[in-house]
Structure 1
């Protein structure tokens, strides 16, 4: 796995912060982490100028109050077994500012939360997922760091190889007892009926093709003693995200790990309104998006699209 030396954790002083801080602590113990930066972007400080004149310290006090709350939460939930440098940053602005901070601090991994029921504004997950220029971990509420089962969706590309090799490395670093489920989602192409085959018959043809591709793919991978299961899922609703999350729920995955394709975070998973709804409403498992080093987008290009 490419070293996660610098971690950035996006907090919002809600109950979800405890979960994110615990994940940061967990990753510190199972990575090359040397520095963890806890960041909070304060959005609601649009104070009229007359009020600022009357109370000149109001903004400074609000920011200090946020920083104090973050420090208290970190003191309670950040308990790594090794020593790392911890810094705190509270700034006024909008959530995409997190990308600028990550770029300037040469962050290797951004950790953000995904809310369902908890109060608080949270961090704009979809925007960061699409435009983050480094590895990204999205953690849903009310989950506990575990490494028993990893789900790695694969399409036999170099990005799949990246995600699987990094998952193997992660599994090794966390004790080597976790199991990896490699999922290939295949479909029956339009026009199959012109071949004279039924839907079920052509489905079997596509599955066998995927199985042969997996044999070639896995020969290039060193499992390093980690148990790897192959799973084939027939996509019947033209929604790759739902197929991935369905299997994640079935096996109770502790992490779903995907390789990002260039600038966008796993285009097949994150593009489209339905896929976006899956991330917002039905995400039950931490999602780790890994990227090839040196294939990140330029910051200016990503920010101007926000």
Structure 2
């Protein structure tokens, strides 16, 4: 897994900014992080040419004022321990397009977006960024404490799941190994199990044993860096594996969920939209990181499928 060196964090000049600044401080403590860019997007900055002729400094002054507001928010909530890592930029245009363009220009490794308690828009923006960004995405619910020391990693033992677990391990190491990592596999008893001559309970055990076997193969190929990892196996009972993931996260009091952008299980295949997008919809109170190999954004045809 590539190290996270450059991070972009959205500020919207609302109460959510306190959470974002506090998480920025948390992320800045990681030795690998070199630059954190706070960005704010002005959606409508169109000014007729005739007006600009009369007031030529209007756009420049608007951007300057917005940047000063961002810096005041930062100074108010930041501990300021790594000030040299922080930068401030004001973008213009559509929010998602502006952030993605900036992400490409600055070669960003991680996009961090906030999620307000009563704003559906923040969820839809996160979905658009998750679909299109060529890097990982971290969604921070409003009011979340800035720590990640109890992490749930849902896993189907795919390559993307491997990247998600490696990211959790990197976070654990930056926390001086005090982080608890739980890797969860959700398995389903397939329709038609009764043709095997086994009862539902018996075939449930077959699927569980298969999951345990696959986990052992999966974890043997990963350098855990001596971080303790707890494996759990959950049976899906309502044909929605993401609800099992969110329930497990609450059960273990997780303060982060880290999931791969894609994956494939024995019983179901999913694009970004299936698992990651469903988690964006369901998880409204735990930080959610969607891990994607840098530069591997969704192709155009795949993007259209996810709309």
Structure 2 CA distance for partners of 1:166 and 1:246, relative to 1, 3 Å: same
How far residue 110 of structure 1 moved from its aligned partner, in angstroms, is 0.9
**Alignment of structure 1 residues 208-223 onto 2, 5 Å:** 208-223=209-224
Structure 2 CA distance for partners of 1:276 and 1:248, relative to 1, 3 Å: same
Structure 2 CA distance for partners of 1:172 and 1:191, relative to 1, 3 Å: same
Partner of residue 192, structure 1? 193
Structure 2 CA distance for partners of 1:169 and 1:94, relative to 1, 3 Å: same
Contact 1:14–1:120 (CA under 8 A) maintained in structure 2: no
52-61 or 11-20, which deviates more:
52-61
Partner of residue 104, structure 1? 105
How far residue 117 of structure 1 moved from its aligned partner, in angstroms, is 2.4
Partner of residue 155, structure 1? 156
**Alignment of structure 1 residues 51-90 onto 2, 5 Å:** 57-79=57-79, 81-90=81-90
Contact 2:193–2:203 (CA under 8 A) maintained in structure 1: yes
Structure 2 CA distance for partners of 1:187 and 1:80, relative to 1, 3 Å: farther
Partner of residue 167, structure 2? 166
Contact 1:113–1:140 (CA under 8 A) maintained in structure 2: yes
Contact 2:139–2:288 (CA under 8 A) maintained in structure 1: yes
How far residue 12 of structure 1 moved from its aligned partner, in angstroms, is 1.2
Structure 2 CA distance for partners of 1:80 and 1:297, relative to 1, 3 Å: farther
Distance, in Å, in 2 between the alignment partners of 1:67 and 1:217 is 47
> Any stretches of 5+ residues in structure 1 without a counterpart?
none
The alignment's C-alpha RMSD in Å is 3.1
**Alignment of structure 1 residues 280-295 onto 2, 5 Å:** 280=281, 282-295=283-296
User: How does the TM-score come out when normalised to structure 1?
Assistant: 0.86
How far residue 247 of structure 1 moved from its aligned partner, in angstroms, is 0.9
Output one character per residue of 1:255-278: Cα deviation in whole Å (capped at 9) or x when no partner: 11122239xxxx848525x97465
User: How does the TM-score come out when normalised to structure 2?
Assistant: 0.85
Structure 2 CA distance for partners of 1:120 and 1:290, relative to 1, 3 Å: closer
Output one character per residue of 1:1-20: Cα deviation in whole Å (capped at 9) or x when no partner: 52211111112111111111
Tell me the matched-pair count: 300
175-184 or 8-17, which deviates more:
8-17
